[in-house]
Structure 1
Amino acid sequence: MTSSSTGTPAVRQDPPEKLSRFHLRITALTFGANFSDGYALGSIGIALTLIGSGMHVDALWSGLIASSVLIGIFVGSITCGWLGDLFGRRLIYMLDFVLIVVASAAQFFVHEPVSLFVLRLLIGFGVGADYALGPTLVAEFVPARFRGGLLASLTVAWTVGYTAAYFIGTWISTIPSDLGWRFLLASGAIPAIVVLILRLGTPESPRWLITKGRIEEARAIVAKYLPGQLDVDAVAATHSTARPGRYRDLFTGRNLRRTVFGTVFYNAQVIPYFAIYTFLPVILLSLGMDADGFASGLLLNVFLLLGGVAGLWAVAKIGRRPLVIWTFGIMAVALAAVALGSHAPVWVVLPPFLIFTFVMSGSSNLDQVYPPELFPTNVRAAGVGLLNGVSRIGSAIGTFLLPITLAGWGISATLLALAAVLVVGMVVSILLAPETAHVSLDDEGVA
């Protein structure tokens, strides 16, 4: 059901919305992929500085290993999102963390770069699969009133993982042994195995079961986990006229507009984020913060955490559309200020950098909120997987190009180029961003 004047889904009157322990549990269990992704990306930069010459990691292998998780996420998100719409959310939601546990632990035993590259590809594949299925499950279980805040909390888990890797890696770097970097990389298996054990018994999404005509199974799950919170008959009636989803549906009708918006929005968010924070020590050095590099880096990581927490409030209180537009604008101005003041004293450059960091961290909460709200149930996992996958290609390209542009253009031009990416995100959001804060996930129309 859509509004004829705007083409956006109409608000559906669902049963009374209550936040239960089950909702919190399914969200907490989905923290795993985001924490693992942040930890994997935060730890590899430090590990590469500790790996001895015996591994023969030259510049080419260093780049490949650093980007391997991103490549794996691209493949895992797109592939497993599609499979999740075909075969269900629950199975892949369990298997992806089996892969993450095994591949993470195996990093301890590598002796040449090829093995490390392959293992990190597999970790990325598992994380990508969970990026497609985890937010989809949360969105399909959680009432609309609480959906934004709980989905946004997933991104905070990424920031916690990244920051944890920064501090643990800094401590491990003081260990004069080849074992340090091995423990650092393999330690990612510890939280992963905890998540895997806790996920045992996770039910299938009743909304997905309804799309497959498995009404009685959906009723049983709703009765056990969501009593009085999901009207199975009403949702089934909505789906009765909807045909099975196909991957090409993401590129037709209303879905095409949302696929285009989601692709541009997500990439405009992550390209500056990953490029700057993968090479944060280099950026700080280029900005003349060599004497205060550790202190500045520590302060920026604190602002990452604070921004992520503040973003939870913003997502809950501000509509998706105004939040994405305004944050893009603020980040573009702040980053341009850093670029134009790149040769100024630290006290001039650091404040706009802190503002950029704080707002970037807060706005990135939308990366987990918007995608599952953009698409109907029959192609939701595929859509979420597509946007996550394509965003990792953008972030990998940005990460690859940043050292090249720094060497060829200098710090000011490089940061201005990243600010231009943010401006593109703002313009596209003004033109295409829908408001999805209170939209029912059971609107299945594919116009």
Structure 2
Amino acid sequence: MNGQTYRMDDAPLNKFHIRITALTFGSNFSDGYALGIIGMALSLLGPQMHFGSFWTGLIGSSALIGLFIGSLFLGGLSDKIGRQKIYLSNFVIITVASALQFFVTDPVTLFILRILIGVALGGDYAVGSTLLAEFSPRKYRGILLSSLNAIWTLGYVSASVVGYYLGKMGPDSWRWMLVSAVIPAVIVLVMRIGTPESPRWLVKMGRNEEAKEIVRKYIGPNAVMDENISQNTAANYGIKDLFNKHLWKRTAFGGLFYTCQVIPYFAIFTFLPTILEAMGFEETFTVDMLLNLFLLLGAIAGVWCTEKLSRRGFTIYSFIILTISLFILSLMPAGSNGFVIMVFAIFTFVMAAAGNLTLVYPAELFPTEVRGTGVGLVTAISRIGAAIGTFLLPVSVSSFGMTASMITLSVILLIGTVVSIAWAPETKSLGLNEASNPNLDVATSLNREENSVEVGS
């Protein structure tokens, strides 16, 4: 910018922004792949180990249970010890646990390994998007964060394709399916070595000189960052601050909107071949791949929607469309395959597009002091909901039938619609700390001192 100083929020996009985005892209691809491959593996693993609906649901939801634990605890830990340490160690765990899946001989061991993978993925959901948000300029933050969902979806769809072809290798091919998740995990792990700490977090911890050096090296020699906070105060904040009178509504909205969106997503797409069979489709792979294509197209379209539409409007209208389309699907009679595919494609496309919001909104809801904790908490809430939904879906279908199960998922989407109309804030086009101000100075909401620390000048 011709030697003029500029805020970190207004920095031009540079090679480092692309690099940190690519690293987070890699993690989201790996996340989507690890969660997608289990659905394919279960179709072979379940009959071989004689799973009933209980173990099928439990193994299918195991990584999501781990995601709950990892998001809740590792997100909060990142506000205490920093983003970078967890950002790197997550993929050590994912790589090792994914490799060990090849050798399992019983459902309990597989369940434990999937829990460990989920814990690490949960930490990465909280820390990865937080770190990217804290480095990204406001002009590009929405498109960079929302692009993560497209990459996650690509990983998820890739798992379906790989699983289909590996499935032809014989009854033990599920082992190769599960261990294949090591490949993207190792690539991400190696590439993440040397990632710098978030300068915003360093400022909160009073480590201003380190923050200055990182800003100058990675953002630009003329970049500055203004933060209204006294030194060494970030360690005093925790999960309780998310429920103070200024932030509780944002915490509640983040958790509920995220949960109402991912429960139908994971419940339906984890067991998509089974659902398609229950809907009367004899050959499910072609329909599965068609819907996966709409997942991918929807995720790409969601990047555009996140950039062009308001956060609030995009959230509300996507919930409305999802609620109506899933309710229609739940009432479809057997034999109407053409209409079912059309409505299912609309549902899939919009669900994938709206999924971009889950990677943009949470990071914008909370101030830096508790951003990792906040993103971790709302992700944890969503994942325990998704785990419960995924576990219960096979049980529900077996006990009450497909129609009742789908109507229940429609009601969950309706709840998301109501919550979004009542509480969704507009955070687009604001600086990261401005976006997280709930109608007042966040310094007041977290009882911060009113002094300014300028970084990088």
* TM-score exceeds 0.5: yes
Structure 1 residue 108 and structure 2 residue 102: aligned?
Answer: yes
Report the counterpart of residue 285 of structure 2 in structure 1.
Answer: 294
Residues 35 and 250 (structure 1), Cα distance of their counterparts in 2 relative to 1, 3 Å cut: same
Q: Which runs of 5+ in 1 are unaligned?
A: 1-11
Structure 1 residue 378 and structure 2 residue 394: aligned?
Answer: no
Report the counterpart of residue 296 of structure 2 in structure 1.
Answer: 305
Counterparts of 1:51 and 1:406, CA distance in 2: 20
Q: Which of 290, 306, 330 does residue 339 from structure 1 map onto?
A: 330
- How does 1:73-84 map onto structure 2 within 5 Å? 73-84=67-78
For residues 222-265 of structure 1, give each alpha carbon's deviation from its aligned partner in whole angstroms, at most 9, with x where no partner exists. 00000157423x22xx1239943222001112210101001110
Q: Which of 214, 219, 223 does residue 207 from structure 2 map onto?
A: 214
Equivalent pair of 1:255/1:446 in contact (CA under 8 Å): no
Paired AA for residue 343 in structure 1: A
Equivalent pair of 2:255/2:378 in contact (CA under 8 Å): yes
Q: Which of 171, 178, 187 does residue 185 from structure 1 map onto?
A: 178
For residues 340-363 of structure 1, give each alpha carbon's deviation from its aligned partner in whole angstroms, at most 9, with x where no partner exists. 323351122221111010000000
Offset of residue 413 of structure 1 = 2.8
Structure 1 residue 416 and structure 2 residue 416: aligned?
Answer: no
Residues 280 and 57 (structure 1), Cα distance of their counterparts in 2 relative to 1, 3 Å cut: closer
Offset of residue 52 of structure 1 = 8.0
Paired AA for residue 130 in structure 2: T
Offset of residue 294 of structure 1 = 2.3
Structure 1 residue 255 and structure 2 residue 247: aligned?
Answer: yes
Equivalent pair of 1:82/1:247 in contact (CA under 8 Å): yes
Residues 429 and 124 (structure 1), Cα distance of their counterparts in 2 relative to 1, 3 Å cut: same
Paired AA for residue 193 in structure 2: L
Paired AA for residue 217 in structure 1: E
Report the counterpart of residue 439 of structure 1 in structure 2.
Answer: 430
Q: Quick one: percent identity of the two aligned structures?
A: 50
Paired AA for residue 270 in structure 1: V
Paired AA for residue 349 in structure 2: F
Offset of residue 401 of structure 1 = 2.1
Offset of residue 47 of structure 1 = 1.6
Paired AA for residue 175 in structure 1: M
Residues 52 and 295 (structure 1), Cα distance of their counterparts in 2 relative to 1, 3 Å cut: closer
Structure 1 residue 388 and structure 2 residue 404: aligned?
Answer: no
For residues 326-385 of structure 1, give each alpha carbon's deviation from its aligned partner in whole angstroms, at most 9, with x where no partner exists. 100111111122223233511222211110100000000111111111000000001111
Report the counterpart of residue 199 of structure 1 in structure 2.
Answer: 192
Q: Which of 219, 230, 233 does residue 240 from structure 1 map onto?
A: 230
Report the counterpart of residue 360 of structure 2 in structure 1.
Answer: 369
Counterparts of 2:344 and 2:53, CA distance in 1: 29
Counterparts of 1:60 and 1:319, CA distance in 2: 41
Paired AA for residue 353 in structure 1: F
Secondary structure in structure 1 of the residue aligned to 2:246: helix
Offset of residue 211 of structure 1 = 0.5
Paired AA for residue 404 in structure 2: A
Offset of residue 309 of structure 1 = 0.5
- How does 1:15-414 map onto structure 2 within 5 Å? 16-51=10-45, 55=49, 57=51, 59-178=53-172, 180-227=173-220, 230-232=223-225, 234-235=226-227, 238-240=228-230, 243-244=233-234, 245-290=237-282, 292-343=283-334, 345-414=336-405
Counterparts of 1:52 and 1:329, CA distance in 2: 36
Q: Mean Cα displacement is larger for which, 180-189 or 104-113?
A: 104-113
For residues 375-400 of structure 1, give each alpha carbon's deviation from its aligned partner in whole angstroms, at most 9, with x where no partner exists. 00000001111111111111111112
Offset of residue 412 of structure 1 = 2.7
Equivalent pair of 1:253/1:446 in contact (CA under 8 Å): no
Paired AA for residue 445 in structure 1: A
Equivalent pair of 1:203/1:221 in contact (CA under 8 Å): yes
Counterparts of 1:301 and 1:119, CA distance in 2: 27
Cα RMSD after superposing both structures: 2.0
Q: Mean Cα displacement is larger for which, 157-166 or 41-50?
A: 41-50
Report the count of equivalent residues.
431
Equivalent pair of 1:208/1:378 in contact (CA under 8 Å): yes
Report the counterpart of residue 449 of structure 2 in structure 1.
Answer: none
Offset of residue 55 of structure 1 = 4.9
Counterparts of 2:386 and 2:303, CA distance in 1: 23
Equivalent pair of 1:56/1:112 in contact (CA under 8 Å): no
Q: Mean Cα displacement is larger for which, 252-261 or 292-301?
A: 292-301
Counterparts of 1:344 and 1:172, CA distance in 2: 31
Paired AA for residue 97 in structure 2: A
Equivalent pair of 2:31/2:121 in contact (CA under 8 Å): yes
Secondary structure in structure 2 of the residue aligned to 1:231: strand
Residues 229 and 437 (structure 1), Cα distance of their counterparts in 2 relative to 1, 3 Å cut: farther
Secondary structure in structure 1 of the residue aligned to 2:428: coil
Offset of residue 107 of structure 1 = 1.3
Offset of residue 113 of structure 1 = 2.3
Equivalent pair of 2:60/2:270 in contact (CA under 8 Å): no
Paired AA for residue 287 in structure 1: M
